[in-house]
Amino acid sequence: MKSIRRAFAVSVAALAIGTGASLFAPVAIAQTKIKMVLNWKYQGPQAWFFVAQDRGYFKAEGLDVEIDQGEGSSAPIAKIAAGAYTAGFGDINAVIDFAARRPSEAPVGVYMLYNTPPFTVAVKADGPIRSPKDFEGRKLGGPANDGALKLFPAFSKVAKFDAGKVEISNMAPNLREQMLLRGQVDGVFGYINTIWFSAMLVGINPAKDLRFINFGDHGMDLYSNAILFSRNFVRENPKAVEGFVRAVNRALKDVVANSEAGMDAVMKREPLLKRDLEKDRLVATLKEEMSHPEIAKIGFGDIDTERMARAIRIVVESNQLPRSPSVDEIFNRSFLPPMSERVTRF
């Protein structure tokens, strides 16, 4: 009997060695790979993505998420369409433009973050530009993939000035505020909080030295940055998209409750950032670009269908696009967590 037991034990051991694993080792669960590109370099208002990564929220949803820095809010759209990325954090208006031209390749929004229009042109506070009409005959500049720059033709139609009379210059993002102050351009495109806090980094007092011509103050009631996904990935991996949105929604609530925890995650990725300034940028973005009154009724992450339809109409008509995408082509709300699990005010 002993010899039989011994032979059985040897056989089991051999089987375990032959399969390369213990019979009692846990079975590894394959994770769905998601490669995501951000809107910009690492900054405070990306904290929720990093918290979801660091606290294992993505992993708990069966996701292996890689997050790369970006080059502007409109840049993720083409990168997702080309298949270089699965997901991105980018401007929904660039999605409208892309979908009007190449509908089968356009990404789709699944979770709205910037629900208040952040687009602006910053000018010198003591300069001659006080209204959009004053752009005529002037030189404006911005990074090539800047969301406000991309929307400038549409803004000219809504605000009733001639964009053809405005000289446009592209510049490196890190030169934007300095070129304005040196008089190399008369105004610069950007998001309000991006310019505000970047100006502070180079010693400019934005409250004293700058004036902001905000698109939203002149009839451009648009949404802005959202979580975007490849249309093919959404169709083939709906559970992965739902899990991604659930993880980010969970992390966003963590950051709202504790901004320092969010900043810990940001600083872990870019230790050379000025923590206090990036925290202020994060808080300002939450309050000014993510707190539209509509979230009290529809919950954070969702859109108002009629408002989005108006935004689509503005972008299509102003840019003379070949077709008008439907709201459902641009944004898919089916992956949102229940409203009871989403923020309704900040």
* 56 torsion bin: left (phi>0), alpha (psi -120 to 50), beta (else): left
The reply to whether 229 and 326 lie within a common domain is: yes
The reply to whether 231 and 109 lie within a common domain is: yes
Residue 29 has what pLDDT?
57
Indicate whether 35 pLDDT > 60. yes
pLDDT digits (tens, 9 = 90+) for 110-147: 999 999 999 999 999 999 999 999 999 999 999 998 99
Q: Whose structure tokens read 């208002």?
A: 45
For the segment 205-212, the average pLDDT, to the nearest whole number, is 97
Indicate whether 49 pLDDT > 80. yes
* 270 found inside a domain: yes
* 16 found inside a domain: no
The reply to whether 208 and 239 lie within a common domain is: no
Indicate whether 28 pLDDT > 70. no
* 24 found inside a domain: no
Position with higher pLDDT, 166 vs 28: 166
Domain extent, residue 136, equals 119-218
**Tokens standing for 241?**
């998209």
**Tokens standing for 258?**
């504790």
For the segment 3-13, the average pLDDT, to the nearest whole number, is 41
For strands 225-229 and 87-91, give the pairing.
Answer: antiparallel
* 5 found inside a domain: no
For the segment 325-330, the average pLDDT, to the nearest whole number, is 98
Look at 5-14, 84-93, 107-116, 145-154 and tell me which has the smallest mean pLDDT. 5-14
* 26 found inside a domain: no
Q: Whose structure tokens read 């093919």?
A: 232
Assign 346 a pLDDT band (cuts: 50, 70, 90).
confident
Specify whether the CB–CB gap between 298 and 115 falls below 8 A.
Answer: no
The reply to whether 179 and 326 lie within a common domain is: no
Assign 1 a pLDDT band (cuts: 50, 70, 90).
very low
Assign 58 a pLDDT band (cuts: 50, 70, 90).
very high
Q: What stretches of the chain show up as alpha helix (H) in DSSP?
A: 2-19, 47-54, 57-60, 75-81, 92-101, 147-159, 176-181, 192-201, 206-209, 231-236, 238-257, 259-269, 275-288, 295-298, 305-319, 327-330
Count of domains observed in the chain: 2
Q: Write the CATH number for 169.
A: 3.40.190.10
Residue-level length of the chain = 346
* 23 found inside a domain: no
Q: How many CB atoms lie within 10 A of CB 162?
A: 11
The reply to whether 78 and 130 lie within a common domain is: no
* 21 found inside a domain: no
pLDDT digits (tens, 9 = 90+) for 270-289: 999 999 999 999 999 999 99
The reply to whether 57 and 40 lie within a common domain is: yes
The reply to whether 85 and 167 lie within a common domain is: no
pLDDT digits (tens, 9 = 90+) for 138-188: 999 999 989 999 999 999 999 999 999 999 999 998 899 999 999 999 999
The reply to whether 134 and 107 lie within a common domain is: no
The reply to whether 239 and 337 lie within a common domain is: yes
Q: Last residue of a domain, which of 218, 239, 262?
A: 218
Q: Last residue of a domain, which of 218, 252, 278?
A: 218
For the segment 204-228, the average pLDDT, to the nearest whole number, is 96
Residue 121 has what pLDDT?
98
The reply to whether 61 and 180 lie within a common domain is: no
The reply to whether 237 and 153 lie within a common domain is: no
* 239 found inside a domain: yes
Mean pLDDT, the chain, as a whole number? 92
Indicate whether 7 pLDDT > 60. no
The reply to whether 183 and 228 lie within a common domain is: no
Q: Last residue of a domain, which of 218, 252, 282?
A: 218
